Amino acid sequence: MTKRLQPGDRAPTIEANAAGGGTWRLAECSGSRAWLSFFRYAGCPLCNLRMRAMVKRADEFASRGLTIAAIFQSPAISVEGAFANPLPPFPLLCDPDERLYAAYGCESSLAGYLDPRNLGELARATANGILPGRMEGTKTRLPADFLLDEQHVVRVAFYAARIAEHIPFDAVDDFLREGARDGASR
């Protein structure tokens, strides 16, 4: 089993291919807070539903000084096919070898994959026209989210217990409010 990251740990280095071309590096974001959101595969309807919600708030998060990167265990061609027209306003990183998932202690779980609470979110995705695509990578992968401070120290590590779960937006808002208070007191 991979070791989970804890608050206070330094975030592992990220250098990955981004959908649409180029390489994205976490080091290039030094001095800004970051949200690293690890998804399953590009055709996952639950992931697509969450991405839509993140895209709706992307401009607001950026205006509050938050850099977002979404990581998928799919190759670039799959990620680009799932999220093109246009690509979201933040990088979509492609990690088909799942090395970043290992570095960040991301987990998989058959129980989390089969959890009946996933069905409500799956029904919501289907009702929004999001149908399942081709599964790629670890089938039972669980999402994970990491909120990093300006020095890229982990402040919040959220490991999902089921495939339809991500960090609540309220926790991201709290993290940004805390950062605004810290910046005001310096």
The CATH number of 45-185, from 3.40.30, 3.40.50, 1.20.120, 3.30.1490, is 3.40.30
pLDDT given at position 88 = 93
pLDDT given at position 185 = 37
In the numeric block, which tokens belong to residue 4? Answer: 């989970």
pLDDT given at position 86 = 84
Q: Quick check: 56 and 46 in contact, CB under 8 A?
A: no
Ranges of residues in the chain with a pLDDT under 70 are 1-2, 180-186
pLDDT given at position 182 = 62
**30 Cβ neighbours under 8 A, 6+ residues apart:** 150, 151, 152
pLDDT given at position 85 = 78
pLDDT given at position 87 = 86
**pLDDT tens for each residue of 46-60:** 999 999 999 999 999
pLDDT given at position 178 = 87
**pLDDT tens for each residue of 128-137:** 999 899 999 9
- Kindly calculate the radius of gyration of the chain based on its CA atoms and give it in whole angstroms: 16
pLDDT given at position 2 = 66
Q: What's this model's pTM, rounded to 2 decimal places? A: 0.94
Q: What is the DSSP string of 37-69?
A: EE-S-TT-HHHHHHHHHHHHHHHHHHHTTEEEE
